[in-house]
């Protein structure tokens, strides 16, 4: 990278060390109503204190492992569809996380100035819950897209991700049952999961023109309808000519799991600025729904389902 090396943010060390701590596959700490990866807390605190959005910023939000990478690719490809030929699109040579920066990492690494250099409209991502976003984001009229996934699949996905990261560092892994249990207790990175989704859901009902709530499973089932929703929300709906010309399908194909996984840029390299450094390839594991059945027992699933059902009761949200 040509960017100057920046020191990790240290300003919040004292506050962070005073917060309740718990060891999962990484240490997490409770800040306000959520648990966060310790390494991301300086970033999250710096975002809350220093981030200045532009009115035309687009934010992509998610609980980890809910389809963030896919959403980044889809939003970017949709917004820039007039700028590049499909066969020479930037997503052929860049990982989706390289085109849509993860703010929690950049702020933690003291590299927030990189965001200033981006041209408008910027597309930025964070795993922060809605209630912790700074007013500068929530009251500035910026558009927000949230992607939600069956928490059981997100947990399995995160477990694999964590196992891979541990293996790469030569560390011992974490038993799946214990991992799942922590998620059920809500003491888990960016958790409780149900509150994370519920907050964005409520805001999407309150301000549908500014907050779009998408579901990973629905996007897999009906990609075209969801890409069209996305484009309409972004204020750039597909014209009749575009639809006839197969532009929606081009976007879906370019951003499909198989296509992205097969690209050289996603087979090599890593997210260098990441607090928890991960290979680009680790963002493309299996895709699809229901993989939790291969790891958890029906009893474990039922337990989480019951918790989630109770927490979401009356909200109209099912996940």
Q: Which residues pair with 35 in a beta bridge?
A: 30, 191
281 binds ligand A3P (CB under 6 A): no
Q: Are 281 and 271 in contact (CB under 8 A)?
A: no
Query: At how many degrees (to 10) do helices 193-206 and 298-312 cross?
Result: 40
In the chain, what is the straight-line distance between the N-terminal and C-terminal CA atoms, in Å? Answer: 39
Question: Which residues contact residue 175 at a Cβ distance below 8 angstroms, ignoring those fewer than 6 apart?
Answer: none
Nearer to ligand A3P, 45 or 274 (CB): 274
68 binds ligand A3P (CB under 6 A): yes
> Which one of 257, 265, 270, 311 is in contact with ligand A3P (CB under 6 A)?
257
Restricted to residues 290-309, the positions that interact with ligand A3P (CB under 6 A) are: 291
196 is catalytic: no
Residue 218 beta carbon to ligand A3P: minimum distance, rounded to whole angstroms: 12
Residue 291 beta carbon to ligand A3P: minimum distance, rounded to whole angstroms: 5
276 binds ligand A3P (CB under 6 A): no
What is the C-alpha to C-alpha distance for residues 41 and 60, in angstroms, rounded to an integer? 19
Q: Which range, of 36-44, 67-75, 194-202, 244-252, touches ligand A3P by CB under 6 A?
A: 67-75
From residue 122, give the alpha-carbon distance in Å to each of 55, 77, 102, 308: 10, 13, 12, 34
Instruction: Sketch the per residue contact string, 151 through 170, with ligand A3P: x for CB under 6 A, - otherwise.
Output: --x---x--x----------
**DSSP 8-state secondary structure symbol assigned to residue 208:** T
Residues annotated as catalytic (active site), given as ranges = 127
Binding residues for ligand A3P, rule: CB under 6 A, are 62, 64-70, 153, 157, 160, 255-257, 260, 283-287, 291
């Amino acid at each position: 990278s040509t960017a100057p090396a920046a020191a990790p943010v240290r300003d919040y060390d004292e506050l962070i060390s005073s917060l309740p701590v718990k060891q999962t596959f990484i240490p997490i700490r409770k800040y306000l109503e959520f648990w966060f990866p310790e390494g991301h807390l300086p970033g999250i605190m710096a975002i809350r204190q220093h981030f200045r959005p532009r009115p035309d910023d687009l934010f992509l939000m998610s609980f980890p492992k809910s389809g963030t990478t896919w959403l980044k690719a889809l939003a970017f490809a949709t917004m820039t569809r007039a700028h590049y030929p499909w066969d020479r699109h930037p997503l052929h040579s860049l990982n989706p996380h390289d085109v849509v920066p993860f703010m929690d990492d950049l702020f933690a690494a003291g590299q927030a100035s990189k965001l200033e250099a981006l041209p408008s409209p910027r597309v930025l991502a964070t795993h922060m819950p809605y209630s912790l976003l700074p007013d500068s984001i929530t009251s500035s009229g910026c558009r927000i897209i949230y992607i939600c996934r069956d928490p059981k699949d997100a947990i399995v996905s995160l477990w694999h991700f964590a196992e891979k990261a541990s293996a790469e560092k030569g560390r011992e892994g974490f038993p799946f049952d214990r991992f799942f249990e922590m998620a059920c207790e809500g003491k888990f990175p960016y958790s409780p999961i149900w509150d994370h989704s519920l907050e964005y859901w409520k805001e999407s009902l309150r301000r549908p023109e500014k907050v779009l709530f998408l579901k990973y499973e629905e996007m897999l089932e009906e990609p075209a309808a969801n890409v069209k929703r996305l484009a309409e929300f972004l204020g750039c709906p597909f014209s009749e000519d575009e639809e006839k010309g197969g532009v929606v399908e081009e976007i879906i194909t370019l951003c499909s799991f198989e296509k992205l996984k097969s690209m050289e840029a996603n087979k090599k390299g890593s997210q260098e600025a990441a607090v928890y450094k991960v290979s680009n390839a680790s963002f493309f594991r299996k895709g699809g729904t229901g993989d939790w059945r291969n790891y958890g027992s029906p009893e474990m699933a039922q337990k989480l389902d019951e918790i989630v059902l109770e927490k979401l009761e009356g909200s109209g949200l099912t996940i």
